[in-house]
Structure 1
Amino acid sequence: MTREERSWILQDFGNSAYSIAITTALLPVFYKTYAAKGLNPTDATAFWGYANSFATALIVILAPILGNLADYKGYKKKFFNFFVILAILSTAALSFIGENQWRLALFIYIITVLGSTGASIFYDAFLTDVTTDEKMDMISSQGFGFGYLGGTVGFGLSMGLILLAPSIGMPASLATKIAFVITAVWWLVFTIPFFKNIEQKYWLEGKPPKAAKVFQKLAGTFREIFQDRNLLLFFLAYFFYIDGVHTIISMATPIAIDLKLGLTETELLMILLVIQLVAFPFAILYGWLSKRLGSRIMIMVGILTYVGIAIFGLFLDTRLDFMILAFLVATAQGGIQALSRSFFGKLIPKTKSAEYFGVFNIFGKISSIFGPLLMGVVTQVTGNIQYGILSLGILFVLGLAFFLKVRSVPSNLSGGPAPDTV
């Protein structure tokens, strides 16, 4: 493994602590119980939802525009540096939020989402710079795998402090604020190798277009995608199956609560950590198997696993059932996301990686709207959340149907020999 590949993987090891602490576990609770303590609980939840929607809308608008600019020489690294520093500083700034300062909390949170998602786009785009087509599946899988491990260790440090706080007389709010700083420092430390060792190897010649021409160039990107049948089919497949993946991840806790399985908040948190630990080796296993079977086959294995998960959800009845469901999710979630990223990286022209990964990010974000909506409607109509889980199988079946038509060869935009064929 080269120094550049190791440095790229370490960035995932560092930034994954943010995903658990800020997006999933600590900040939502801190916001509800401390920053928005004086608000009506319904209003607090609504404002949190509005903030997430606004942040997502910003990314959907900015991602392809910034991607168009970043592919010119030297700009990809500059954009990554800006967004990752913005994310790290704003994560640390969460520690300055006082009681009932919910407006400040939401403002800083939106900045962290903007920074972390922007950094992720350019981080993904650097995959084509740090490794070869032949190694791309393995490196992408190791990024996801070690990301799960790093997120667990980084979040574990924060949880250790929070659990220790009562015994040393530290208020829970102060312990959580320190945890925000720990998360930011953890991310910064494992970003240093990226700063030092990774540079853009593929770029477009000339200067970035002026503002008026960015949208014209962006329109050209979408025309190229629609004219490339293979790439378009991949986008359609990815749109459906990744929507199902994200929905199951985001709805796991509400599912457990609504089914009244008797799991405490602590037990749910422990299951979340176990999922991260199980996902670590399985993400790497997906990368290893892709060398032997091809990434196309392994993505299909991941999709079929999720079809099985959707069907199994119909029979959820006990705590053990939920734990089995969580284990099955952990076996597939890292692998399918990692190989989707590397499969896409081999379909696109390397000189336009930031531009195309910006569009890739849009599909991932927009698709996340429909899965929760589908599940919510089916659950309300049937009065049974298990039918809601089963309905997600439609997304995976549609994703598989489109993916079966995708050839695992580079598109006519990139040229070159096929890295893995079926």
Structure 2
Amino acid sequence: MTDDVVTAPSPARRETREQRAWYFYDWANSAYVTTTATVLMAPYLTSVATAAACPNLPDGERCTATLSLLGIPISPGSLFAYTATVSTLVSVLVLIVVGGIADRSRRPTRMLAGFAWLGAVAAAAMFFVAGTNWQLGVLLLIIANLALGSSLVIYDSLLVRIASPDERDRVSSKGWGFGYLGGGILLALNFALDLFHSNLGLDREMSTRISLLSAGLWWGFFTLIPVLGLRHVGGTLAPPVQKSRGVVGGSFAQLVDTFKELRLFPQTMLFLLAYLFFNDGIQTVIGNSSLYGIEELQFSQSTVLGVFLFVQFVAFGGTALFGRVAARIGAWRTVLVCLAIWTVIVVVAFFVPAKSLVLFVALALFIGLVLGGSQALSRSLYSQLIPRGREAEFFSLYQAMERGTSWFGTLTFGLVYQFTHSYRWAIVALVVFFVVGGLLLSRVRMREGIEAAGNEVPAVI
């Protein structure tokens, strides 16, 4: 840890109208991320696929038949995971190309709007996934995930254009906080709909479909705020491509140059490597926490869902808390503190007794506190390490490399469970991701990396 902390930061500007508009895209898309992608779509798509493969399956029995997709036999229980994997792999290429094009667009907000509304339409159309129509669900899920990732590449890159180096920790943290609050509010409303669906004359399938529809409508409607508020934001453009190649062809060529150029920024590359490890650990813990709570700790699904809601609202406060901590000691040190807490969380999770609700809620409390802080501050740190005029292109690496390797943590989790038949060993195995990621991050020389990228060094790193 060699970066010095300057204790006399320059006065921050007042919050701008563009920054306030920017926050609301986190608010908008988190409805889909929370309600659809994280909570509802996996079990719902699995139930639709099971109905297609085993139409007369008795209650309590497990479907052993398979579906056929392009001649490939697929278990209904694996369909969601395979769909997520396909969208992940495709996004690795798509997002990098989107970043290259966005950096050459004079109105990147228009691209953000296009991808956001495409994703919102796909998310809302999941209302029509019913009966045995699992193929529609697969198609819409892939479209929505690709559109979400593409919009986030542009959204993240706009952070550099609306906030000075000294403001980015605060602005990024507040954006994440808005996301947790917005996603949590809609999830709470949908949770209430699920609890009282019979009182409203709905069966559970219809209440789930309405919840899926609400996530798409929320995403699309609230996207209006950043689209209108950021419509004049342009900023520095990347070098133009050769006209003979066109925008897309030139962006592919620029992609090769980007990877070559990345080697000229060793601190940026080291940060990305560290991020791949610790973010993979974070995503795996969050993605499997409900499974751990239900299967290993033996809580009911409603209890786990209630705890998940609790995490959403704690995370809103956690982003604000760690944003203030970062203002005093720097985002780099704050993220290292968060990773140390993550390490303790997964170790303690190994020892939590079954049905111990107090300890389970305590774990959720600490997860919520560090979740937003570690992710929001990582985004602002990375924004300091990328060259001007190449924001979307380099943020596409940030998004694509995250999505392209986010399967490694879940693979580790699954393999450890397969060999030990214990989710406890599977969860504690994730310690390695936080330890390795933290060690790599501790070796990043932030000041050197920021200066190498040609950016202004913030008062507190």
TM-score scaled to structure 1, two decimals? 0.95
Q: Deviations over 1:80-138 (max 9, x none)?
A: 12110101111111112231111111111111111112111211111111211111001
Assess if the C-alpha contact under 8 Å between 1:142 and 1:284 holds in 2.
Answer: yes
- Which residue of 378, 394, 400 maps to 2:438? 400
For residues 78 and 414 of structure 2, what CA distance do their matches in structure 1 show? 17
Q: How does 1:100-139 map to 2 (within 5 A)?
A: 100-139=132-171
| Cα distance change of structure 1 residues 398 and 10 upon mapping to structure 2, 3 Å threshold | same
Q: How does 1:240-251 map to 2 (within 5 A)?
A: 240-251=277-288
Greater Cα radius of gyration, structure 1 or 2: 2
2:98 corresponds in structure 1 to 66
Q: How does 1:85-96 map to 2 (within 5 A)?
A: 85-96=117-128
1:367 corresponds in structure 2 to 405
Aligned pair 1:315/2:351, yes or no? yes
Aligned pair 1:161/2:175, yes or no? no
| Cα distance change of structure 1 residues 420 and 231 upon mapping to structure 2, 3 Å threshold | farther
SS in 1 for 2:53: coil
SS in 2 for 1:184: helix
SS in 1 for 2:419: helix
For residues 223 and 242 of structure 1, what CA distance do their matches in structure 2 show? 24
For residues 329 and 110 of structure 2, what CA distance do their matches in structure 1 show? 37
Aligned pair 1:97/2:97, yes or no? no
Which structure 1 segments of 5+ residues have no match? none
Assess if the C-alpha contact under 8 Å between 1:68 and 1:214 holds in 2.
Answer: yes
- Which residue of 328, 339, 351 maps to 2:366? 328
For residues 373 and 273 of structure 1, what CA distance do their matches in structure 2 show? 26
Aligned pair 1:388/2:426, yes or no? yes
For residues 155 and 216 of structure 1, what CA distance do their matches in structure 2 show? 42
Q: Deviations over 1:246-293 (max 9, x none)?
A: 11001111212231x331110011011000011110111111111111
Aligned pair 1:148/2:180, yes or no? yes
Assess if the C-alpha contact under 8 Å between 1:73 and 1:205 holds in 2.
Answer: no
Q: How does 1:191-270 map to 2 (within 5 A)?
A: 191-198=223-230, 199-206=233-240, 210=246, 211-259=248-296, 261-270=297-306
The runs of at least 4 consecutive aligned structure 1 residues that moved more than 4 Å come to none
- Which residue of 19, 22, 39 maps to 1:8? 22
For residues 280 and 310 of structure 1, what CA distance do their matches in structure 2 show? 21
Aligned pair 1:25/2:25, yes or no? no
Higher share of residues assigned helix: 1
Assess if the C-alpha contact under 8 Å between 1:228 and 1:411 holds in 2.
Answer: no
Deviation (angstroms), 1:346: 1.0
SS in 2 for 1:280: helix
Assess if the C-alpha contact under 8 Å between 1:202 and 1:350 holds in 2.
Answer: yes
Deviation (angstroms), 1:420: 4.4
Deviation (angstroms), 1:413: 4.9
Deviation (angstroms), 1:205: 4.7
Which structure 2 segments of 5+ residues have no match? 1-14, 55-62, 65-74
Assess if the C-alpha contact under 8 Å between 1:11 and 1:191 holds in 2.
Answer: yes
Q: Deviations over 1:352-395 (max 9, x none)?
A: 11100100012211331111222232333344322222221111
SS in 2 for 1:99: coil
Aligned residue pairs: how many? 421
* Aligned partner letter, 1:38: A
1:306 corresponds in structure 2 to 342
TM-score scaled to structure 2, two decimals? 0.87
* Aligned partner letter, 1:221: T
Assess if the C-alpha contact under 8 Å between 1:271 and 1:323 holds in 2.
Answer: yes
Root-mean-square deviation (CA, aligned residues, Å) is 1.9
Larger mean CA deviation between 224-233 and 84-93 belongs to 224-233
Q: Deviations over 1:281-313 (max 9, x none)?
A: 011111111111100110101110111112212
Assess if the C-alpha contact under 8 Å between 1:148 and 1:277 holds in 2.
Answer: yes
